[in-house]
A and B are shown apart, each in its own frame.
Chain A
Amino acid sequence: LAKTTQPISMDSYEGQEVNITCSHNNIATNDYITWYQQFPSQGPRFIIQGYKTKVTNEVASLFIPADRKSSTLSLPRVSLSDTAVYYCLVGQGEGANNLFFGTGTRLTVIP
């Protein structure tokens, strides 16, 4: 199973770029890498997804090295509203039944 490992917490000042790395040594060939954001008392919300190299959307970038054993979520110029828990999720492959979320990284943005 492609379990994931992330730092438990990170702090950052407003306006800085934040990089959160996720390790997934047992990722399978068919697995995609997806990141979610969760605010208190809410369900997780999709941020970005990728398979290899780099993906960028309006809120974040995702960097995936060639061996795909890790991935890095990059949040440019964070604001206080980016304070949340960020989860890295790796698909289980063909037919993807049970999708495992890791413990998540609690990001605190400091004024």
Chain B
Amino acid sequence: GAGVSQSPSNKVTEKGKDVELRCDPISGHTALYWYRQSLGQGLEFLIYFQGNSAPDKSGLPSDRFSAERTGGSVSTLTIQRTQQEDSAVYLCASSLRIRDRGWSGELFFGEGSRLTVL
């Protein structure tokens, strides 16, 4: 498929365990975003990657959260020592371009990874 792919679609884990969530963006998209959405809530920005630039990590809620993007393509969001409040849907989005005059461009979202921490 040509869309953003996320895996796993569902993950149930025990409190204190580490989890990894994967995002395959659309081929050629230089910008990649991670968002978190708790049940019935809006989207909470987590982290942003743009090409080879240093990522913007300003949205990460704690040092238990980290993300990397290898080769400018696939991204992995890692949550260490998971807590129950980490339960949410984690959404990844990619974008093709950012125009010179500020942001413009469509974000393409994946279906998300639903994380449940028991």
Closest to A92 in B: B103
User: Dominant SS at the A interface?
Assistant: loop
Q: What is the interface of chain A, defined by CB distance below 8 A to chain B?
A: 28-32, 34, 36, 41-46, 49, 51, 87, 91-104
* B91–A96 CB distance below 8 A: no
- Number of residues in B with C-beta < 8 Å to the partner? 27
Any chain A CB within 8 A of the CB of B18? no
B10, chain A: closest CB distance, angstroms: 11
Across the interface, A96 reaches (CB within 8 A) one of B43, B58, B103, namely: B103
26 contacts between A and B (CB under 8 A): A28-B102, A29-B102, A30-B101, A30-B102, A32-B103, A32-B104, A41-B112, A42-B111, A43-B109, A43-B111, A44-B109, A46-B107, A46-B108, A87-B42, A87-B43, A92-B103, A94-B101, A95-B103, A96-B103, A97-B58, A99-B33, A99-B45, A100-B45, A101-B35, A101-B42, A101-B43
